[in-house]
């Protein structure tokens, strides 16, 4: 079944994750019906700071203003089934946990949760304080998925993009998309990017 998915980008560090996820989704258009983007003002500044460009302005994905409550995913009747907040600031997470729908991102997350659909929050902060942990618990108990922007290294990524892909590929897996990615225990698992995992080949 094809999906309707909304990607929200907040002002937390980690713009590379957002750009990469959008690009990966655009490579698999047969797996979704509709793709929408919401990006906050702070996120635009962080994107420009971290990536040195403003490609979010040139994307083919439809962009909605953060205060556009007429967006289809601001209501359950819009039938968007998946939402990814990447990166997800702790302020955004806290407002979602408290049920405060003060902009399109928090309203859309509220809708996804109340409709029992899939919400993935790619939180990006370190360390966590107790409020962060409790907010993550609350969102989890409400049906959301907390996916920290924590890379893995067992595939021996050789570039920053490959490191980021260990997170974005996991997000795509969580959303139910079919992608090619490193798979632990697969026949090809003894190599990654053409390099053996260790000198013994295991």
Over range 45-50, report the average pLDDT: 97
pLDDT tens-digit profile of 132-185? 999 999 999 999 999 999 999 999 999 999 999 999 999 999 999 998 888 888
Q: Please name each of the domains of the chain with its CATH number.
A: 3-196 (3.40.50.1950)
What percent of the chain has pLDDT above 90?
A: 83
76, 111 Cβ separation under 8 angstroms: yes
Tokens matching residue 33: 């019906």
Check: CB of residue 41 under 8 Å from CB of residue 49. Answer: no
Q: Is the pLDDT of residue 90 over 90?
A: yes
| Residue 187, phi then psi, degrees to nearest 5 | -60, -30
Supply 81's token pair. Answer: 């089934």
What CA–CA distances, in Å, run from 109 to 28, 79, 155, 174? 24, 13, 32, 16
Handedness of CA 61, 15, 98, 144 (dihedral sign): positive
Helices of type H across 68-146? 90-97, 104-114, 130-141
Rounded to whole angstroms, how far apart are CA atoms 168 and 122? 9
List helix spans (H) across 32-120. 41-51, 90-97, 104-114
């Amino acid at each position: 079944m094809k999906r309707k998915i909304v990607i929200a980008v907040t002002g937390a560090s980690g713009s590379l994750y957002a750009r990469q996820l959008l690009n990966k989704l655009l490579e698999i258009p047969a797996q979704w019906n509709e793709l929408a983007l919401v990006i906050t003002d702070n996120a635009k500044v962080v994107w420009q700071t971290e990536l040195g460009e403003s490609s979010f302005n040139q994307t083919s994905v439809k962009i909605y203003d953060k205060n556009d409550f007429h967006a289809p995913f601001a209501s359950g009747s819009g039938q968007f089934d998946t939402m990814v907040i990447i990166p997800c600031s702790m302020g955004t997470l806290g407002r979602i946990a408290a049920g405060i729908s003060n902009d399109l991102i928090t309203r859309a997350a509220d809708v996804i949760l109340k409709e029992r659909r899939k919400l993935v929050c790619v939180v990006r902060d370190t360390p966590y304080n107790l409020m962060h942990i409790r907010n993550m618990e609350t969102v989890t108990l409400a049906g959301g998925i907390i996916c920290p922007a924590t890379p893995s290294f067992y595939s021996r990524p050789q570039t920053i993009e490959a490191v980021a892909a260990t997170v974005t590929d996991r997000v795509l897996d969580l959303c139910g998309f079919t992608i090619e990615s490193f798979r632990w225990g697969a026949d090809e698992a003894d190599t990654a990017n053409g390099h053996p995992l260790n000198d013994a080949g295991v």
